[in-house]
Amino acid sequence: MAKSIFNAADNRRIVGVGSALIDILINETDEFVSQVNAAKGGMIYVENAFIDQVITLTEVRPEIVPGGSACNTLIGIGKLGGDARFVGKLGDDEYGLLFRKSLIENRVEPVLITSSSPTGRVLSIITPDAERSMLTCLGASAETLPEEITAASFENVAIALVEGYQLFNKALTLSILEAAQTANVRIALDLASFTVVKEAETFLELIVNDYVDILVANEDEARAFTGYSDETRAIKALSEMTELAVLKLGDRGSVIAYNGNITEVAAMQGDDIIDTTGAGDLWASGFLFGLVNGFTLEKCGELGSACGYEVCRVIGANIPEAGWKRILALL
């Protein structure tokens, strides 16, 4: 049985540096995705006005919730009873207040920098196949300065989680990585989206080899990064770059590579999947929580699978209390 890379007695705090965003969720058709030129299953950056324009084209009433990849993961860790901290920048507006309140309510320590620009937004278009296509306006979150991220943000921390979307800002990404490395913290990178990988490939190769200890990717992201569609070759390529590599395979589970060993974890499945928004983020919640608590890699993967499954049973990235009760029963 593959052991964890952490002892249960180690520091268990996880800090995430990412975009403080508000998710706007609508259910629409594939035709609508094409009509607004969104990347099916991916993410593209747009202006605030474009998001407003797209919203006028749908008759669906949007659902508005706090979001952002790292934020989703940390809220999941907080709900599991973990020690979580979020670092990011937001606007001094109604959405910013909503974001801060959500962190506190979900037991996540907020380390937030305020800007005069509006809080960032993501319009997630959810199609009948449960896939989500995202239009993102970073707003204030894009204004985080490299010098605003220091080693102090990573004091008494086990894992620093960097969301892949940060890769578009190279100076900020390097500042985050160097501050975490200076604090002697293990660095986890979630590749976030195949569109991110394609646009940041050269820079991504550099930082993975030099900084990243834990690399998390789904099939599309791994294919874009390694060039391999075969999962065995893909996980081998990823594992050669970092201490621990994870390949998420959707309803086929996940594959974890560590210390030359491969651990396969089955997916938790059901016929009630309605939205994949936050599935990867919440999978990371369970997996990282398990790591810092000294669980075996199998148990980490199983907990990740449970979190990923439960969030797919609802619209958006917020698992209801009944879902968390089922997840906590596994512990």
Greater confidence (14 vs 202) lies with 14
d(CA 168, CA 222): 18
Q: What backbone torsions phi and psi does residue 161 show, to the nearest 5 degrees?
A: -100, 125
Q: Is the pLDDT of residue 201 over 50?
A: yes
- In the prediction, which pLDDT does 6 show? 66
- In the prediction, which pLDDT does 182 show? 92
- In the prediction, which pLDDT does 261 show? 93
Q: Is the pLDDT of residue 1 over 70?
A: no
Q: Is the pLDDT of residue 9 over 70?
A: no
pLDDT band at 157 (very low <50, low <70, confident <90, very high): very high
Burial 189-206 (b: 16+ CB within 10 A, else e): bbbbbbbbbeebeeebee
Mean pLDDT score of the chain: 91
Q: Is the pLDDT of residue 146 over 70?
A: yes
- HSE of 58 in the Cβ direction (CA atoms, 13 Å)? 25
Report percent pLDDT > 70 for the chain. Answer: 97
Strands 63-67 and 108-115: unpaired
- In the prediction, which pLDDT does 285 show? 97
Average pLDDT of the segment spanning 257-262: 93
Helices (H), the chain: 30-35, 48-56, 69-79, 94-105, 170-182, 194-199, 201-210, 219-226, 231-239, 279-292, 297-311, 321-329
- In the prediction, which pLDDT does 8 show? 53
d(CA 8, CA 189): 22
- Per-residue pLDDT reduced to its tens digit, 33-87: 999 999 998 889 999 999 999 999 999 999 888 888 999 999 999 999 999 999 9
d(CA 142, CA 199): 17
pLDDT band at 149 (very low <50, low <70, confident <90, very high): very high
What domains appear along the chain, each with residue ranges and CATH number?
A: 14-20+71-118+143-329 (3.40.1190.20)
Q: Is the pLDDT of residue 94 over 80?
A: yes
Residue 70: alpha-carbon gap to chain centroid? 5
pLDDT band at 171 (very low <50, low <70, confident <90, very high): very high
Stretch among 14-18, 99-103, 189-193 having the lowest mean pLDDT? 189-193
Amino acid type, 147: E
- The SS3 assignment for 17 reads strand
